[in-house]
Amino acid sequence: MIEFKNVYFQYPHGGASLKNIDFKVEKGEFVALVGENGAGKSTMLKLINGILKPINGDVVTAGFNTKNTKISQIAKHTGFLFQNPDRQICCQSVKEEIMFSLNLLNDMTAEEKEERAEKIINAFSLNPDENTFAMSRGEKQKTALASALASEPEVLILDEPTTGLDYRECTAIMDFVKKLNKEKNITVFMVCHDMEIVMDYADRVIALAQGEMVDDDTPENIFRKKDVLKKAYLLPPQITELASLLGGEFENCDSAEEILEVLKKQRKGEL
Amino acid sequence: MTGVLDYSKGNSIFHNMNPVTKIIIALCICVAAFGADNLLFLAGIVALDLIIGIISGIKEKAFSIFKGFVKISVFLFVLQVLFVRSGNTVFLFVTDDGIILAAKIVLRLMGAALPLTYMLTVTKVSDLSNALVKVCHVPYKYAFTITTAVRFIPVFINELDAIIEAQTARGVEFDTKNAFARLKLILPLCVPLLMTSVKKADSSAVSAELRGFYLRKQSSGYKEYPFKAADILAIILFIAFAVFGILM
Ligand SMILES: Nc1ncnc2c1ncn2[C@@H]1O[C@H](COP(=O)(O)OP(=O)(O)OP(=O)(O)O)[C@@H](O)[C@H]1O
Ligand SMILES: [Mg+2]
């Protein structure tokens, strides 16, 4: 679904760059992209849907090489959530905003669009008539995400989807994304600074440091590699850290429940 | 991210001049451009502007700004030529008077606008406002307003670019070749642009106030902006130039 072939990119004036980026994401995967501030994560996302074009190498998204495809063409197959929702929202009310997204696709009837909008508004517990310009940061984030998800694109590109959201909203939204990912086989490519979320939702993690890929592995594995964590300045979820500190039987535990299981077993063995 | 009007670092004679001198030079060139009525002299002013740009070590930027103005000028030139009816017909409905008048207008516009933009690229905005307060005794409130307005132009442009980028990513066809179709798509975006800009201005005002904006007096700035010999010489030279321009 998304393929980077030995990509090199640099901004015209900036010194920062992306080097030797090479990976392939299959349909239906849930990938998290992690790395320090300024590592080039948002830049990489913009390369995926063709807003930026690679200087060397190729990026292929949903079967289109971004070098010779119009962005609006790729956009019909991708949903994109920007880091700053202010720039994405351009309509007066939440409903209009979501309809605006749906109206850009022309393979749905009016009723279908209405239904879709209704569904997403309910799922995100939004108020359809709320004024988008007077909303809080978190509400804007939700609205922008809702309008990106409404069209159920083949590829979902999310730049820090959970910033500004409280814990309850965060899990509600990530559960929704995960459901889309599982049920409709939508590919998700997400930048996230919250390793707990990465651990809970992603199937695969790509770690970026200073514009280079340092690792590409499952979250369970990556959070146990000390050198990778150090290079990309990542703090693993506390449970994983605890598990590796405990070692032995606990080494491979990834949740509190698993640790509890091992503890119970140990106790039974001792009794 | 460096916009065209952003400050360019450097150590040229123009960088080291008193900001007020730079304003005076720019204004003198403007006066000369509007006062002069000689086609050659007007072309000379544009050339002088470019030379100033090169001496300031902002050659690339100077030419990219110049190119931008050339684009506007071509449009203006055609418009003017179409509307002037007097003089002898050169071909179709174009008259010699029309061509000369259009050329003068275009050169005047460039001659006056270039030095103002170059001045902004070789002067730090903070220096500009501080010097206005220290040397010209402009109240800080007004100096701050002027310089903030100037500083907002590139912010505005970057913001519009970012909004267009975000909307293209949603599937709005901004990448169409048709300029009119694109213009029609940009218009609705003015709403979010205005909203974010007003909000930005509002939060700037609040944070300025929180940091004691109203306590600031003329003596609050620690940097002094004395006139050096080079400044005085440059001012005399360019005032003479402006007078010469009016007489031309
Ligand atoms: N339009 C631009 N022009 C020049 N340089 C840029 C531009 N956009 C970003 N950069 C630079 O590229 C680098 C990577 O930026 P990017 O936004 O991809 O980082 P990021 O990994 O998303 O960081 P964060 O976690 O803070 O969102 C930064 O050093 C930034 O200054
Ligand atoms: Mg980013």
Q: Å from A270 to nearest chain B CA?
A: 60
Residues 171-230 of chain A whose Cβ lies under 8 A from any Cβ of chain B:
none
Chain B residues touching residue A49 (CB < 8 angstroms):
169
A11 in contact with ligand 1, CB cutoff 6 A = yes
- Ligand 1 atom nearest residue A13's Cα: 4
Calculate how far, in angstroms, residue A229's C-alpha sits from the geometric centre of ligand 1.
Answer: 21
Collapsing DSSP to helix, strand or coil, B140 comes out as helix
Q: How far apart are CA B132 and CA B77, in angstroms?
A: 36
A:B CB pairs within 8 Å: 62
- A80 CB near a chain B CB, below 8 Å? yes
Q: How far apart are CA A125 and CA A99, in angstroms?
A: 16
Core vs surface per residue B25-55: b (16+ CB within 10 A) or e: bbbbbbbbbbbbeeeebbebbbebbbebbee
Collapsing DSSP to helix, strand or coil, A9 comes out as strand
- Ligand 1 atom nearest residue A193's Cα: 25
Question: Are the Cβ atoms of B169 and A51 closer than 8 angstroms?
Answer: yes
Are A13 and B9 within 8 A, CB to CB? no
Q: How far apart are CA B144 and CA B30, in angstroms?
A: 23
**What pLDDT score was predicted for residue B165?**
87
Structure tokens at A26: 């299959």
Question: Are the Cβ atoms of A105 and B171 closer than 8 angstroms?
Answer: yes
Calculate how far, in angstroms, residue B187's C-alpha sits from the geometric centre of ligand 2.
Answer: 28
A39 in contact with ligand 1, CB cutoff 6 A = yes
Strand partners, A204: A31
Give me the average pLDDT of each 10-residue run along chain A (271 residues). Answer: 93 82 94 93 93 93 92 89 87 90 82 90 90 88 91 91 89 92 94 93 94 92 90 88 86 88 85 55
What Å distances lie between residue A239 and A136, A166, A264, B34, CA to CA? Answer: 32, 21, 17, 74
**What pLDDT score was predicted for residue A241?**
87
Please name the residues in contact with A53: beta carbons below 8 A apart, sequence gap of 6 or more: A47, A59, A66, A67
Q: How far apart are CA A165 and CA A148, in angstroms?
A: 17
Query: A102-126: per-residue pLDDT in tens?
Result: 888 767 888 888 998 999 999 888 9
Question: Are the Cβ atoms of B170 and A104 closer than 8 angstroms?
Answer: yes
**What pLDDT score was predicted for residue A84?**
86
**What pLDDT score was predicted for residue B1?**
40
Structure tokens at A142: 């939700």
What is the complex's ipTM, to 2 decimals?
Answer: 0.81
Are A144 and A82 within 8 A, CB to CB? yes
**Concatenated DSSP letters for A175-188?**
HHHHHHHHHS--EE
A210 in contact with ligand 1, CB cutoff 6 A = no
- Ligand 1 atom nearest residue A40's Cα: 18
Structure tokens at A74: 């790729």
Calculate how far, in angstroms, residue B156's C-alpha sits from the geometric centre of ligand 1.
Answer: 19
For residue B245, the surrounding DSSP H or E stretch is helix B229-247
Question: Are the Cβ atoms of A72 and B168 closer than 8 angstroms?
Answer: yes
Chain B residues touching residue A136 (CB < 8 angstroms):
none
Of the bound ligands, which one is closest to the alpha carbon of residue A36?
1
Which amino acid, one-letter code, is at B157?
Answer: I
Domain ranges of chain B: 19-123+225-247, 136-220
Question: Are the Cβ atoms of A72 and B172 closer than 8 angstroms?
Answer: yes
Calculate how far, in angstroms, residue A43's C-alpha sits from the geometric centre of ligand 1.
Answer: 6
Q: How far apart are CA B239 and CA B245, in angstroms?
A: 10
pLDDT tens string, chain B, 248 residues long: the values are: 456 677 888 888 888 888 899 999 999 999 999 988 888 999 999 999 999 999 988 888 888 889 989 988 998 888 888 887 777 777 777 788 888 889 999 999 999 999 988 888 888 888 888 888 888 888 888 888 888 887 777 788 888 888 888 888 888 887 777 778 878 888 777 777 888 888 888 888 888 889 888 777 767 777 788 888 888 999 999 999 999 888 87
* Among B170, B175, B186, the residue to mutate for chain A (most A Cβ within 10 A): B170
Question: Are the Cβ atoms of A87 and B170 closer than 8 angstroms?
Answer: no
- Ligand 1 atom nearest residue A83's Cα: 27
Chain A residues touching residue B163 (CB < 8 angstroms):
87, 90
Are B116 and B26 within 8 A, CB to CB? yes
**What pLDDT score was predicted for residue B108?**
92
Nearest to B56 by CA among B1, B126, B121: B121
Which residue has tokens 């309850």? A168
